[in-house]
Amino acid sequence: MQEISTWTWRRGDGSEYAPSAIPAFWRRVAARNWPAIDSAAPYEAMLAEYGSLAEYGDLIHDPETGSVRVRDADDRLAARNQDEADWKTLHDRLRGVARLWRFDPDDPASHPIHSLDTVALARDPDARAIRSMLDAAGVAGDLAFLLDGWRLQIMPMNLRAFLLMGVAADIDARQRLRRCYGPGCGEWFPVARTDQRFCSNGCRQAAHLASKGAA
Protein backbone atom coordinates (compact mmCIF):
# COMPACT_ATOMS: atom_id res chain seq x y z
CA MET A 1 0.00 0.00 0.00
CA GLN A 2 1.05 3.59 -0.57
CA GLU A 3 0.60 6.86 1.22
CA ILE A 4 -2.32 8.87 -0.11
CA SER A 5 0.14 11.55 -1.25
CA THR A 6 1.86 9.13 -3.65
CA TRP A 7 -1.22 7.20 -4.77
CA THR A 8 -1.70 7.14 -8.54
CA TRP A 9 -4.50 6.26 -10.90
CA ARG A 10 -4.68 5.53 -14.61
CA ARG A 11 -6.38 7.78 -17.10
CA GLY A 12 -8.38 6.37 -19.97
CA ASP A 13 -5.33 6.73 -22.23
CA GLY A 14 -3.29 4.49 -19.91
CA SER A 15 -1.09 7.25 -18.44
CA GLU A 16 -0.81 7.61 -14.68
CA TYR A 17 -1.39 10.68 -12.55
CA ALA A 18 -1.67 11.50 -8.86
CA PRO A 19 -5.11 12.95 -8.03
CA SER A 20 -3.76 13.99 -4.62
CA ALA A 21 -1.37 16.41 -6.36
CA ILE A 22 -4.37 18.37 -7.69
CA PRO A 23 -5.92 20.74 -5.10
CA ALA A 24 -9.56 19.96 -4.27
CA PHE A 25 -9.57 17.23 -6.90
CA TRP A 26 -13.20 16.20 -6.27
CA ARG A 27 -14.28 19.84 -6.80
CA ARG A 28 -12.43 19.90 -10.10
CA VAL A 29 -14.32 16.80 -11.23
CA ALA A 30 -17.64 18.25 -10.04
CA ALA A 31 -17.00 21.42 -12.05
CA ARG A 32 -16.88 19.47 -15.30
CA ASN A 33 -20.14 19.86 -17.21
CA TRP A 34 -20.91 16.29 -18.28
CA PRO A 35 -23.22 17.10 -21.24
CA ALA A 36 -20.86 19.79 -22.53
CA ILE A 37 -17.62 17.80 -22.28
CA ASP A 38 -18.21 16.15 -25.63
CA SER A 39 -21.72 16.07 -27.05
CA ALA A 40 -20.98 12.88 -28.99
CA ALA A 41 -19.27 10.88 -26.25
CA PRO A 42 -19.26 12.51 -22.78
CA TYR A 43 -18.28 9.30 -21.01
CA GLU A 44 -15.27 8.75 -23.28
CA ALA A 45 -14.13 12.31 -22.51
CA MET A 46 -14.43 11.73 -18.75
CA LEU A 47 -12.69 8.37 -19.11
CA ALA A 48 -9.78 9.93 -21.00
CA GLU A 49 -9.41 12.74 -18.47
CA TYR A 50 -9.88 10.82 -15.22
CA GLY A 51 -10.04 7.10 -15.94
CA SER A 52 -12.49 4.47 -14.68
CA LEU A 53 -13.96 4.70 -11.21
CA ALA A 54 -12.89 1.11 -10.53
CA GLU A 55 -10.56 -1.40 -12.16
CA TYR A 56 -11.99 -4.43 -13.89
CA GLY A 57 -9.43 -7.18 -14.17
CA ASP A 58 -9.16 -9.92 -16.80
CA LEU A 59 -10.55 -12.57 -14.44
CA ILE A 60 -13.98 -12.91 -12.87
CA HIS A 61 -14.32 -14.73 -9.56
CA ASP A 62 -17.60 -16.34 -8.58
CA PRO A 63 -17.74 -16.14 -4.75
CA GLU A 64 -20.50 -18.75 -4.55
CA THR A 65 -18.78 -21.52 -6.51
CA GLY A 66 -15.18 -20.38 -6.14
CA SER A 67 -14.71 -20.71 -9.89
CA VAL A 68 -12.63 -18.31 -12.00
CA ARG A 69 -13.08 -17.50 -15.67
CA VAL A 70 -11.60 -15.08 -18.16
CA ARG A 71 -13.59 -11.91 -18.77
CA ASP A 72 -15.05 -12.09 -22.28
CA ALA A 73 -16.28 -9.34 -24.61
CA ASP A 74 -19.76 -9.31 -23.09
CA ASP A 75 -18.27 -8.98 -19.61
CA ARG A 76 -16.08 -6.06 -20.71
CA LEU A 77 -19.06 -4.30 -22.31
CA ALA A 78 -21.11 -4.80 -19.14
CA ALA A 79 -18.24 -3.42 -17.03
CA ARG A 80 -17.96 -0.39 -19.31
CA ASN A 81 -21.70 0.28 -19.13
CA GLN A 82 -21.62 -0.06 -15.36
CA ASP A 83 -18.70 2.34 -15.08
CA GLU A 84 -20.48 4.89 -17.27
CA ALA A 85 -23.64 4.65 -15.15
CA ASP A 86 -21.59 4.93 -11.94
CA TRP A 87 -19.73 7.97 -13.30
CA LYS A 88 -22.98 9.75 -14.12
CA THR A 89 -24.46 9.01 -10.69
CA LEU A 90 -21.36 10.06 -8.76
CA HIS A 91 -20.81 13.14 -10.91
CA ASP A 92 -24.38 14.30 -10.25
CA ARG A 93 -23.88 13.84 -6.50
CA LEU A 94 -20.54 15.68 -6.53
CA ARG A 95 -22.12 18.61 -8.38
CA GLY A 96 -24.95 18.65 -5.86
CA VAL A 97 -22.61 18.71 -2.86
CA ALA A 98 -20.43 21.36 -4.53
CA ARG A 99 -23.44 23.70 -4.55
CA LEU A 100 -23.33 23.68 -0.73
CA TRP A 101 -20.23 25.87 -0.95
CA ARG A 102 -21.61 29.41 -1.24
CA PHE A 103 -20.02 32.81 -1.94
CA ASP A 104 -18.62 34.47 1.15
CA PRO A 105 -20.49 37.81 1.24
CA ASP A 106 -17.57 39.48 3.03
CA ASP A 107 -15.20 38.78 0.15
CA PRO A 108 -15.83 41.14 -2.79
CA ALA A 109 -13.00 39.70 -4.94
CA SER A 110 -13.74 38.48 -8.46
CA HIS A 111 -12.82 34.97 -7.33
CA PRO A 112 -14.52 34.97 -3.92
CA ILE A 113 -14.05 32.43 -1.19
CA HIS A 114 -16.75 29.76 -1.06
CA SER A 115 -17.75 28.61 2.41
CA LEU A 116 -19.69 25.46 3.29
CA ASP A 117 -23.32 26.04 4.19
CA THR A 118 -23.51 23.76 7.22
CA VAL A 119 -27.22 24.47 7.76
CA ALA A 120 -28.08 23.22 4.27
CA LEU A 121 -25.67 20.30 4.69
CA ALA A 122 -27.82 18.71 7.40
CA ARG A 123 -30.79 18.26 5.08
CA ASP A 124 -29.11 17.94 1.68
CA PRO A 125 -29.99 14.71 -0.22
CA ASP A 126 -26.70 14.71 -2.17
CA ALA A 127 -24.68 14.86 1.06
CA ARG A 128 -26.70 11.95 2.45
CA ALA A 129 -26.10 10.01 -0.77
CA ILE A 130 -22.34 10.65 -0.53
CA ARG A 131 -22.38 9.26 3.01
CA SER A 132 -24.20 6.16 1.80
CA MET A 133 -21.65 5.73 -0.98
CA LEU A 134 -18.84 5.95 1.58
CA ASP A 135 -20.52 3.29 3.71
CA ALA A 136 -20.87 1.07 0.64
CA ALA A 137 -17.22 1.67 -0.29
CA GLY A 138 -16.12 0.44 3.12
CA VAL A 139 -18.25 -2.70 2.87
CA ALA A 140 -17.09 -3.41 -0.70
CA GLY A 141 -13.42 -3.12 0.22
CA ASP A 142 -12.85 0.06 -1.78
CA LEU A 143 -11.25 1.54 1.35
CA ALA A 144 -8.29 -0.23 2.92
CA PHE A 145 -7.03 0.41 6.44
CA LEU A 146 -3.32 0.43 7.25
CA LEU A 147 -1.48 0.78 10.57
CA ASP A 148 1.76 2.75 10.26
CA GLY A 149 3.11 2.28 13.75
CA TRP A 150 0.18 3.52 15.79
CA ARG A 151 -1.19 5.82 13.12
CA LEU A 152 -4.23 4.55 11.25
CA GLN A 153 -4.35 5.39 7.56
CA ILE A 154 -7.13 4.94 5.03
CA MET A 155 -6.10 3.96 1.54
CA PRO A 156 -8.47 4.33 -1.45
CA MET A 157 -8.40 1.29 -3.69
CA ASN A 158 -9.99 3.01 -6.68
CA LEU A 159 -10.86 6.45 -8.02
CA ARG A 160 -14.43 6.34 -6.68
CA ALA A 161 -13.15 5.91 -3.13
CA PHE A 162 -10.61 8.71 -3.58
CA LEU A 163 -13.29 11.16 -4.73
CA LEU A 164 -15.61 10.21 -1.88
CA MET A 165 -12.79 10.61 0.65
CA GLY A 166 -12.01 14.06 -0.73
CA VAL A 167 -15.59 15.25 -0.29
CA ALA A 168 -15.80 13.83 3.23
CA ALA A 169 -12.49 15.41 4.27
CA ASP A 170 -13.48 18.88 3.02
CA ILE A 171 -16.90 18.67 4.69
CA ASP A 172 -15.40 17.47 7.97
CA ALA A 173 -12.79 20.26 7.93
CA ARG A 174 -15.41 22.86 6.92
CA GLN A 175 -12.89 23.68 4.22
CA ARG A 176 -13.21 26.97 2.33
CA LEU A 177 -12.54 26.88 -1.41
CA ARG A 178 -11.54 29.42 -4.05
CA ARG A 179 -10.69 29.42 -7.74
CA CYS A 180 -7.06 30.14 -8.58
CA TYR A 181 -6.11 33.56 -9.96
CA GLY A 182 -3.25 32.07 -11.99
CA PRO A 183 -3.22 32.91 -15.72
CA GLY A 184 -5.27 30.28 -17.55
CA CYS A 185 -5.78 28.19 -14.38
CA GLY A 186 -9.01 28.71 -12.44
CA GLU A 187 -8.59 25.45 -10.47
CA TRP A 188 -10.39 25.08 -7.17
CA PHE A 189 -8.16 24.87 -4.11
CA PRO A 190 -8.51 24.91 -0.28
CA VAL A 191 -8.03 28.37 1.23
CA ALA A 192 -5.75 28.50 4.26
CA ARG A 193 -5.66 32.33 4.39
CA THR A 194 -8.14 34.85 3.03
CA ASP A 195 -5.39 36.51 0.96
CA GLN A 196 -4.35 33.22 -0.68
CA ARG A 197 -5.06 33.57 -4.39
CA PHE A 198 -3.06 30.84 -6.11
CA CYS A 199 -3.32 27.06 -6.01
CA SER A 200 0.44 26.54 -6.44
CA ASN A 201 3.80 28.29 -6.58
CA GLY A 202 3.77 27.79 -10.34
CA CYS A 203 0.58 29.84 -10.71
CA ARG A 204 1.93 32.52 -8.36
CA GLN A 205 5.10 32.83 -10.43
CA ALA A 206 3.13 32.87 -13.70
CA ALA A 207 0.96 35.70 -12.38
CA HIS A 208 4.07 37.60 -11.28
CA LEU A 209 5.70 37.24 -14.72
CA ALA A 210 2.44 38.26 -16.43
CA SER A 211 2.21 41.42 -14.31
CA LYS A 212 5.83 42.30 -15.12
CA GLY A 213 5.16 41.77 -18.83
CA ALA A 214 2.07 43.99 -18.68
CA ALA A 215 4.09 46.72 -16.99
What's the CA gap between 134 and 146, in Å, rounded?
17
Residue 40: predicted pLDDT:
72
Flag whether pLDDT at 146 surpasses 50.
yes
Higher pLDDT, 37 or 87: 87
pTM score, whole prediction: 0.87
pLDDT tens digit string along 160-191? 999 999 999 999 999 999 999 999 888 999 99
User: CA angle, corner 121, sides to 85 and 190, nearest 5?
Assistant: 80
Pairwise CA distance, residues 160 & 137, whole Å: 8
pLDDT, residue 90, reads 96
Q: Are strands 188-190 and 101-103 parallel, antiparallel or unpaired?
A: unpaired
Please provide the average confidence, as pLDDT, over all residues in the chain.
87
Task: Count CA atoms closer than 13 A to 119's CA, side-chain side.
Answer: 1
pLDDT (tens digit per residue) in 27-61: 999 999 887 777 778 898 898 899 999 877 666 66
Q: How confident is the model at residue 203 (pLDDT cuts 50, 70, 90)?
A: very high
